[in-house]
Amino acid sequence: MISTQVWADAQRLWDFQQMGHELRPCSVAIGLGSHDLGVAEITADLYHRGMMPLIVFTGATSRTTRDRMPRGEAEHYRERAVELGVPAGAVLVEPRARNTGENIRFSRTLLEEHGVPVSSVLLISKPYEERRAYATARKLWPEVDWVSASTPMTLTGYVDSIGDARLVLDMLVGAQQRLMVYPQQDFMIEQHIPDDVAAAYERLRDAGFTSRLVPDATERK
């Protein structure tokens, strides 16, 4: 049983991860690979709404996607987007990236190889990783304007879609910790962490939602 306090803390982290960017047309979209095909589906929806002329799906496989996406996350995303009516010629696949930093670096290289001019990027991720993805992208490719997007969804709705509340809370806690420790390792830009967000993170961490934490990391607000 998950307590009222735990849900409240999880909601605080969920809300903080939402960047709240106003969507607008961009040069290209980059869809970050993961276990969640919802990223491909919202990317297809945004394409049909005229938000970008070109999509890059980026991602290899991980221990959580190897069985479900044996051809690689980016390729499965491409297939889903095409099923939803996106022209195959409007999608580039970057199949090697195994973390968010590689997603950005390898996608940039791919676009340069194809001679695509990029001034703005619609960065599409899972809902609970908008801020983490944005902070990484700003660090690694600061010359472009980044607009964050994800599937519009409540925390409860996302938990229902995944079917595992503990896993979702673990992932929320892991995403929040990375916002606190990765700037020190030069992986992303530093962002202010409000006191109530830091406190919510600490309570969830201390309650045992720790399976997605970076081990031996020194945290700071």
Q: What would the pLDDT profile of 197-208 be if each residue is shown by its tens digit? A: 999 999 999 999
Tell me if 70 is assigned to some domain.
Answer: yes
Q: Which of 133, 149, 165 is the last residue of a domain?
A: 149
Task: Let me know whether 164 and 180 are in one domain.
Answer: yes
Task: Let me know whether 57 and 83 are in one domain.
Answer: yes
Q: Which of 119, 149, 179 is the last residue of a domain?
A: 149
Task: Let me know whether 137 and 113 are in one domain.
Answer: yes
- pLDDT tens track for 149-166: 999 999 999 999 888 999
* Domain ranges, residue 175: 4-15+154-206
Task: Let me know whether 136 and 189 are in one domain.
Answer: no
Q: Which of 116, 149, 182 is the last residue of a domain?
A: 149
Task: Let me know whether 145 and 180 are in one domain.
Answer: no
Tell me if 221 is assigned to some domain.
Answer: no
Q: How many domains does the chain have?
A: 2
Task: Let me know whether 141 and 32 are in one domain.
Answer: yes
The pLDDT assigned to 36 comes to 82
pTM exceeds 0.85, yes or no: yes
Residue pair 54/92 in contact (Cβ under 8 Å)? The answer is: yes
- pLDDT tens track for 81-137: 999 999 999 999 999 999 999 999 999 999 999 999 999 999 999 999 999 999 999
Task: Let me know whether 117 and 68 are in one domain.
Answer: yes
Q: Where are the beta strands (DSSP E) in 82-151?
A: 91-94, 120-124, 145-149
Tell me if 216 is assigned to some domain.
Answer: no
Tell me if 220 is assigned to some domain.
Answer: no
Task: Let me know whether 50 and 8 are in one domain.
Answer: no
**Alpha carbons 27 and 52: distance in angstroms, whole number:** 6
Structure tokens at 32: 């970050």
| DSSP track, 153-200 | --HHHHHHHHT-HHHHHHHHHHHHHHHHHGGGGTSS------HHHHHH
| Closest C-alpha among 84, 82, 58, 83 to residue 72 | 58
- pLDDT tens track for 174-197: 999 999 999 999 999 999 999 999
Tell me if 176 is assigned to some domain.
Answer: yes
